Chains A and B, each alone.
Chain A
């Protein structure tokens, strides 16, 4: 949410190095100014993503979806509707806004979100910028000033759309049958692991894996454990494509819960 493909650049490069063709698209309203994001509805994000997904299915036999934050929710929603999604990478899935940087006056949010105040209010983006790594944090703060297409605030209207989309995704969660890898930081500043745990418990997928990171915040693809995240994603996708080439049926694995420490 309010991010840009820039944040996914390293992830894309890592996947490309591992012989995957990578396509990353910028969601409607993102990558420009906060005014534009105020004019979009969650249906715009969804239909745009579905259109891109359909295009990819015309070009490739196997298409995997992945995303961070809102992107992860989008990937789950698409997989709920399209059963041919071969696998999903859900990074910092944001179904609930309950991270530790959410301001103390969060209890007033329903009043702000469900009235016209949502078009007036924006959460200013502030430290830690979703990053535990302090060096990176300074870098991002500097980059934000140089306009990297990532917005410096979250308009409340965007949160309203995210919450509505989250409800839609939650309703369809059991329809998701594709294999899912969930990666979520224990100390995520924007959304607590509750979101990932909800997905893990409620999806209909036979293959699901949940990795909880110990040394990152929300932007897991840029933070301290980014290499671990990239490797876990590549390993998961390779595993799926291997199974896919051997048989069309995927093996049944349950309760595949892992802590990041000591895995690699």
Chain B
């Protein structure tokens, strides 16, 4: 597959910042949760690692929330009500998943979280 870098940069330049932030935060969060899931039991005693890991994940989540909100508001502004509603759901989804999560079922809930991030990533990519 030939990727024209110049063409790609041109496309990125035309994208709104909120969309770029949404795509990037989604990708990093998915990667972060996959790493966290794999490392959780293996390196459970690495408290410092998980402390820094979680701080980075929290920052990414903040970026994700801002971009989702920004995106939802801009969709609302341009009259795309269904998209605005869907993105608002994605804004609250991490908290809803967190509300029901338990340590015993952490892998299941992490998978649900990853799945929701993949869906929001695909949705964001559909705007390109």
Contacts and interface: CB of A to CB of B under 8 A. Distances in A.
A112 B94 contact: no
A153 B65 CA distance: 28
Give the size category of B's interface with A. Answer: 20 to 34
Contacts of A166: none
Interface residues of A, number: 23
Given A105-B55, A112-B58, A153-B47, A120 B95 contact: no
A239 interface: no
Interface stretch (A8-16, A121-129, A184-192): A121-129
B57 interface: yes
B58 A35 contact: no
B95 to A, nearest CB: 5
Central interface residue in B53, B97, B106, by most chain A CB within 10 Å: B106
B50 interface: yes
A114 to B, nearest CB: 5
A122 B47 contact: yes
B34 to A, nearest CB: 12
A124 B98 contact: no
A49 interface: no
A108 B97 contact: no
B55 A114 contact: no
A39 B62 CA distance: 27
B55 A116 contact: no
A131 B4 CA distance: 61
A111 B97 contact: no
Central interface residue in A38, A111, A117, by most chain B CB within 10 Å: A117
B18 interface: no
Contacts of A153: 47
Contact of A119 (B48, B95, B103): B103
B99 A152 contact: no
Nearest to B45: A34
17 contacts: A34-B44, A108-B55, A112-B58, A114-B99, A115-B97, A116-B98, A116-B106, A116-B109, A118-B98, A119-B101, A120-B50, A120-B54, A121-B54, A122-B47, A122-B51, A123-B51, A124-B48
Interface of B: 36, 40, 44, 47-48, 50-51, 53-55, 57-59, 61-62, 65, 94-95, 97-99, 101-104, 106, 109-110, 113
